[in-house]
Amino acid sequence: MGFVRQNGLVYYQFDIFPPAVVHGVFTRLGGVSPVPWASLNLGGNLGDTRENIIENRRRIFEVVNRKVETIFDVWQVHSDIVVCTDQPRPLDTPHSRADAILTQNPNVTLFMRFADCVPIFLYDPENNVVGLVHAGWKGTLAAVTYKAIEVMRTKYGSVPSNILAAIGPSIGPDHYVVGPEVIEGVKQTFQEDSEALLIQRNGRTYFDLWQANTLWLSKAGVAQVEIAGLCTACDTHHWYSHRGEAGRTGRFGALIALNS
């Protein structure tokens, strides 16, 4: 489907998901935050005001016709922790720490924040399960995507070959330069597959997070995968990019839910 423009917001949707799945990756356009977070900043602890973030969040929930009170989000810590929920997170309660969230409840909207890391959307049409994963290099090496599929299988009875997956806008292999720590981690984790994931160019090494997480999905048994192919560092007009903006930036939001 690509970009959708509605009520002043611009968000990205995937073709792979049917109308039964409410989802979107929201660009940075259409919010109230000032520079350097301009304008639809959804991240906390970055210097922007809480009032701006709350208003921006209200706007994205309104545009997909979901109540803010249905939100379930977590404190993202670059881990392999998967959390399952059957209820929203009360807005006045602390966040759990995790980097993958799953639900079967249509009254829950899963929500995460990004600025280069990979958003991965999951949907099991047979058991009505949706999921959202946050995978930076640490989470990717920790196999958070693979572990999310395993939890779908063991807790909800999902058959991996039935699961639909989508990889959202994030830093692409053309921009993600990595150093010795990451290079060694990729080699240890992916073994013979690491050569295809570490791209050598002009004396630098680039890590392909899109293919690395596609590989985890494949290893878990997921064959139906759509990749947006949109690099956040290439397009800071639409996306926040930690690398592309030298750390002075906001966070864009991604959400997924089951239509009730």
Looking at the predicted structure, is the pLDDT value of residue 179 above 80? yes
pLDDT at residue 44 in the model? 78
Cβ atoms of residues 43 and 251 within 8 Å: yes
Mean pLDDT computed over 144-149: 98
- The verdict on residue 203 lying in a domain is no
| Coil, strand or helix at 63 | helix
Residues 6+ apart with CB under 8 A from 8: 29, 30, 59
Which segment of 42-56, 113-127, 177-191, 229-243 scores lowest on mean pLDDT?
42-56
pLDDT at residue 185 in the model? 98
Looking at the predicted structure, is the pLDDT value of residue 151 above 80? yes
Looking at the predicted structure, is the pLDDT value of residue 184 above 80? yes
- How far, CA to CA in Å, does 47 sit from each of 44, 78, 208? 8, 21, 30
Looking at the predicted structure, is the pLDDT value of residue 120 above 80? yes
- The verdict on residue 58 lying in a domain is yes
Residues 6+ apart with CB under 8 A from 61: 67, 68, 70, 71, 109, 255
Specify which residues 100 forms β-bridges with. 82, 133
Residue 15: which domain range?
2-171+226-258
pLDDT at residue 126 in the model? 98
pLDDT at residue 260 in the model? 77
Give the count of domains, the chain: 1
Question: What percent of the chain has pLDDT above 70?
Answer: 100
- The verdict on residue 184 lying in a domain is no
Looking at the predicted structure, is the pLDDT value of residue 160 above 80? yes
- The verdict on residue 183 lying in a domain is no
pLDDT at residue 79 in the model? 98
One-letter amino acid identity for 148? A
Looking at the predicted structure, is the pLDDT value of residue 1 above 80? no
pLDDT at residue 92 in the model? 86
Instruction: Read off the pLDDT of residues 206-219 as tens digits, 9 standing for 90 and up.
Output: 999 999 999 999 99
pLDDT at residue 231 in the model? 98
Domain with residue 53: its CATH number is 3.60.140.10
- The verdict on residue 15 lying in a domain is yes
- The verdict on residue 185 lying in a domain is no
- The verdict on residue 145 lying in a domain is yes
- The verdict on residue 193 lying in a domain is no
Phi, then psi, of 121 in degrees rounded to 5: -100, 140
Instruction: Read off the pLDDT of residues 29-84 as tens digits, 9 standing for 90 and up.
Output: 999 999 999 999 999 788 999 999 999 999 999 999 999 999 999 999 999 999 99
Task: Give the tokens for residue 172.
Answer: 């692409």
